[in-house]
Chain A
Amino acid sequence: MKKRSIKTRIIISTLLLFGLIRCIDDNITPPLTGDLNSTAEMLVYFESLGDFPNNSLAPGLINADEVFANIGNYDIVDIRTNSEFTSGHIENAQNINIDSLYDYVKINYNLGSPKIIIVSQSGQSSAYFTCLLRLAGFDNVYSMKYGMAYWNIQFADEWINEIGDTPDINSYTNQIFEKSDPSLLPAVSFPDPEAPIKERVEYRIKEIISFGFTYNEVYRYHLNPDLYTVCYGKSRLYNAPRDGVFGLRGHPQEAISYLDATFYHFRSVNFLQTLPNSEEIMLYDYDGQLGACMTAYLRVLGYDVKFLLFGANQLFYSRMITDVELMDFAFTSQGINNFPFVTGE
């Protein structure tokens, strides 16, 4: 009898304890955890500022003649080396090292500078940094088209020496190569992932600026066929006409077409994420101006992009100057001005 009573009590106690544990609260929905994706947040931020790389404003070029006409009004920032600067520069230009470029532009932007003109030797690094500064929200920054090379013949050697036709032109094709399947945005890490997105973007842009224009190597003379090769421009840059100078040899083998205006294939809603997120990408454009800008943008988003200096001007210059659809993107001696420059500091 006693044994049964003990047993009964044990059972009752166990049941009640069970009930107690259950009543602690089994009706809590687990809270949603996990942050937003940082690269996605950057994309949101860039689009909230108008998505500069993917609209008609990119790459923010300004012609040398407009700069010449406004020398006293514009803030001219020469980012060449000090020796290049002292050998000849635009009057009133400031020689700013890229390490202090961001802060310099930020100060002058906040002071209400009407236009800040970034000037480099060929216009490519200036287009690159202009795009980075535009992404940061400095909407009055411009890159002088073709740099000092279009200011005065004195500075045009680099451009003139680089333009030409590649010996590989006979292997070029009009065959269409397909984009990759979409993949996730690359992961970008930040020292303070909880910081407001504006601060993270500023950090990221400063970081990319600090790497310099040629970090991770740019391909100066040739395309690398082992990389995911992107032809960024209109379809005429990709496909050559039958009656053109090289016939139907439009692009290198395996090159993939990504269209610029007005299709803007790098927009988030289009084909941005068909770029491989863990593979090296090789990008070429018409003349290195827009391409430099897009390279900057894609690097900020974490893509591993290499860039072909001088673009198609060093791949098939003969085609660039004879095709009416492309000739506006050809560097020509007729475009070189004879504007004055000063030497020394």
Chain B
Amino acid sequence: MKKLFNIILISTLLIFFGCEVEEIISPDSVYVEYTVVQAELHPERLFPGVRFTKTLPLGVPYDISEAELKNVTAYIVKNEVQVIPLLYTSEGMYEPLYEFFIHEGEIYELYAELEEKYIYGRTIIPRKPNVASVNFNPNDYYFEADVHNINDEVYAALWIVSGTPPSKADDFFSVTTPSTGYNIIKKVQTSSLPEEYRNNSYNGSRFIQVYSFDTSFRDYFYSRTSGQQINDPFVQGGGVVEWNMQGENVIGMFIGVTPGDIINVN
């Protein structure tokens, strides 16, 4: 009996450690081609089309004529019912034959097929952010806005300084967490103002603009540096970027974005 248990124990240990696959990477087999889908949908604007491209191996200079995909079958389903075909135009762009406007609250799904592989993406066009109040943090020199939360939306903000030339933050500082429920206020913060805009001469020239996004943007925002080379020990790297596309070896974002009003911050 003791022997039997020892055999089971050793076998299990062997199998357990055996299942840790040691992947031997050959330089020739490292490259995996990905299909890249890009579309940013803004309300009250024409549907811009969807770009389908493929990644190119390292060392190959990026050339859109090499990267573009011309043989995708694609269509949009609006509000879970209405089918709108997308047709190849140029440089990997697939556009509807007839123009149409996007509106807040609409749901857009992308269905596509490329060489018998299926691609799917879904987004909701967020509502224009309803900003309750804004303020300036004089200690850390950032702007903050209180936004009335809407389900399935997240928020981010940019600082803007008017003048000649005007200046705008390059990127969002953070993205709010998604919440469900009524009467929830979300705080959204910009990155810190650059030093040159902190003195009093810019009073009255400083603004904040809040953006609403489909919730999937948050996952993307916080993972987007993951796939990059690790040069800075404090930056996440080497992990997986959270794209909102589904399909085998498909990456990219098909995302609804709604910019809010530009609001003066005293």
Decide if A and B are genuine partners: yes
Q: Given contacts A37-B83, A269-B84, list 17 more A-B pairs with CB under 8 A.
A: A6-B1, A13-B12, A19-B16, A20-B16, A23-B19, A24-B19, A32-B118, A35-B113, A36-B73, A36-B75, A40-B111, A43-B75, A43-B85, A48-B87, A197-B73, A268-B83, A269-B100
Q: Does A191 contact B (CB under 8 A)?
A: no
* A34: min CB distance to chain B, Å: 7
CB < 8 Å: which of B9, B15, B87, B100 contacts A47?
B87
Which chain A residues in 250-276 approach chain B with CB under 8 Å? 267-270, 273
Pairs of residues from A and B, 5 with the lowest C-beta to C-beta distance, nearest first: A44-B85, A16-B12, A9-B5, A40-B83, A47-B85
Indicate whether A214 reaches chain B with its CB closer than 8 angstroms.
no
A35 cross-chain contacts in B, Cβ below 8 A? 113, 118
Describe B's contact surface by its main secondary structure.
mixed
Q: Beyond A36-B118, A44-B73, is A20–B19 a contact (Cβ under 8 Å)?
A: yes
The answer, yes or no, to whether B237 is at the interface (CB within 8 Å) is: no
A-B contact number at CB 8 A: 95
Chain A count of residues within 8 A CB distance of the other chain: 37
- 1/0 per residue, CB under 8 A from A, across B6-40: the answer is 10110011011001100000000000000000000
Tell me if A84 counts as interface (CB < 8 A to partner B).
no
Q: Report which B residues bind A (CB closer than 8 A).
A: 1-2, 5-6, 8-9, 12-13, 15-16, 19-20, 73-75, 77, 79, 81-87, 96-100, 111-113, 118-120, 246-248
CB contact between A13 and one of B9, B79, B85 (< 8 Å): that residue? B9
- Inter-subunit contact A16/B9 (CB<8 Å): yes
Residue of A nearest to B77 (CB): A40
Q: Which residues of A contact B248 (CB under 8 A)?
A: 31-32
Chain B residues lying within 8 Å of A24, measured Cβ to Cβ, are 19
Q: Which residues of A contact B98 (CB under 8 A)?
A: 267-270
User: Given contacts A40-B111, A182-B81, A269-B84, are A51 and B97 in contact (CB under 8 A)?
Assistant: yes
CA distance A41 to B6 in the complex (A): 61
A185 contact set on B, CB distance < 8 A: 83
- Residue interface bits A25-40, CB-to-B below 8 A is 1, else 0: 0000001111111011
Question: A282 to chain B: closest CB distance in Å?
Answer: 23
Which residues 155-183 of A sit at the B interface, judged by CB distance below 8 A?
Answer: 182-183
